[in-house]
Amino acid sequence: MKNLKLILAASIAISVAIVSCSKGPAGPAGATGATGAAGATGATGAAGQNGTNGTDSVLHSAWITLATTVDTFTNNGNPDSIFVDTIPATSITQAIIDSGLVVTYVQNLFNNDGSIVNTLTYAGFMEVDFLVGQINIEVLSDISGAQFRYVVIPGSLLASSVFKGYTKQQIRTMDFATATKLTAEANSKKSSN
């Protein structure tokens, strides 16, 4: 019996403790905390695609001001130098190198008349090489300040657009006015499809 009274007293004490520990009404809202530090920049997303091969129109760069620097080397045991510039060109992909074309133009380097010429005009004086994502320029003298532009033509457009009537060699050597006209036509035909 004594145990029963003890159990009953313990049960009442536990019940009172449970009831007195129940949640009361909510208190007032606290003050807004300080703004936290900005999070880290997220990873760059993958490049989008415009069509089946990722490029479906003729692309051209803005005019780029060249800044050539001297590169010294040894040629047959003799010191030599050449002026170089490297231009980032993300539109030049392996697909463009394999089946498309890149045509480059520069302001006339020998006449101060503002005319624009195809860089192939300066063969032997200026060499332009295309790699994935960049253009390398080598020239025999400093041409810093000269204006340079490139036009990228995907292989898919060479046979199916306004370029169809031209050989690759004819396009490579094309004057700036003709290339500008054909580029505008190719892009307007592509956007109307």
Query: Mean pLDDT per segment of 10 residues, for the chain of length 193 residues?
Result: 49 48 58 63 46 61 95 89 96 95 93 90 95 97 95 87 85 90 80 59
- Kindly state whether residue 123 falls inside one of the protein's structural domains: yes
Q: pLDDT value at position 52?
A: 35
Alpha-carbon distances of 184 from 116, 143, 147, 159, rounded to whole Å: 18, 29, 21, 16
In a domain, 114, yes or no: yes
Helix, strand or coil, per DSSP, at residue 191: helix
Query: What pLDDT, on the 0 to 100 scale, is given for residue 126?
Result: 96
pLDDT at 164 (0 to 100): 82
- Per-residue pLDDT at 183: 84
Exposed e or buried b for every residue in 14-46, given b needs 16+ CB within 10 A?
eeeeeeeeeeeeeeeeeeeeeeeeeeeeeeeee
54 near 93, Cβ under 8 Å? yes
The predicted structure's pLDDT at residue 57: 81
Is 104 within a domain?
A: yes
In a domain, 39, yes or no: no
**Residue ranges making up the domain that contains 160:** 59-184
Q: Does residue 25 belong to any structural domain of this protein?
A: no
Q: What is the pLDDT of residue 150?
A: 96
Q: What is the pLDDT of residue 187?
A: 79
d(CA 64, CA 82): 20
* pLDDT score recorded for residue 51: 37
Question: Per the domain annotation, does 18 fall within a domain?
Answer: no
Is residue 41 domain-resident? Answer: no
In a domain, 109, yes or no: yes
Q: How many domains does the chain have?
A: 1
